[in-house]
């Protein structure tokens, strides 16, 4: 999964959430490609938030995209982790 320049997030203020690690209230909202799932990444410590059901929805989308076979969970997890790591790498400049 490539990270395009349009995928590099812009920080957004969100008073409804506070990072449990550093207490920041500013997050990068990142849409996972091919889904409506928006992951929040803390601007300060780069912690990654998956709200309830988001990781499952992303995993399902990745599995369905590849073959639809449920035994692909491990490969889907690796693909998701690689995507998150690419986003985090792109945020080092911020």
Q: What pLDDT, in 10s, does the model give residues 26-73?
A: 888 888 887 888 888 888 888 888 888 888 888 888 777 666 555 566
Higher model confidence: residue 52 or residue 87?
52
Q: What is the dihedral of CA 17, 4, 82, 48, to 10 degrees?
A: -10
With a cut of 70, say whether residue 80 has pLDDT above it.
Answer: yes
With b meaning 16 or more CB within 10 Å and e meaning fewer, what string describes 47-61?
beebeeebeeebbeb
pLDDT, residue 82, reads 82
Q: Given this model, what pLDDT does residue 1 score?
A: 47
pLDDT at 43: 85
Indicate the pTM of the whole model.
0.61
């Amino acid at each position: 999964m490539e990270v395009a320049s349009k995928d590099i997030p812009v920080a957004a203020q969100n008073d409804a959430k506070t990072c449990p690690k550093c207490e920041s209230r500013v997050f990068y909202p990142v849409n996972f490609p091919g889904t409506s799932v928006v992951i929040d990444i803390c601007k300060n410590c780069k912690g990654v938030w998956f709200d309830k059901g988001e990781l499952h929805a992303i995993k399902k989308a990745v599995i369905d995209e590849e073959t639809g076979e449920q035994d692909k969970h491990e490969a889907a997890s690796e693909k998701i982790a690689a995507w998150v790591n690419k986003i985090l790498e792109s945020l080092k400049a911020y």
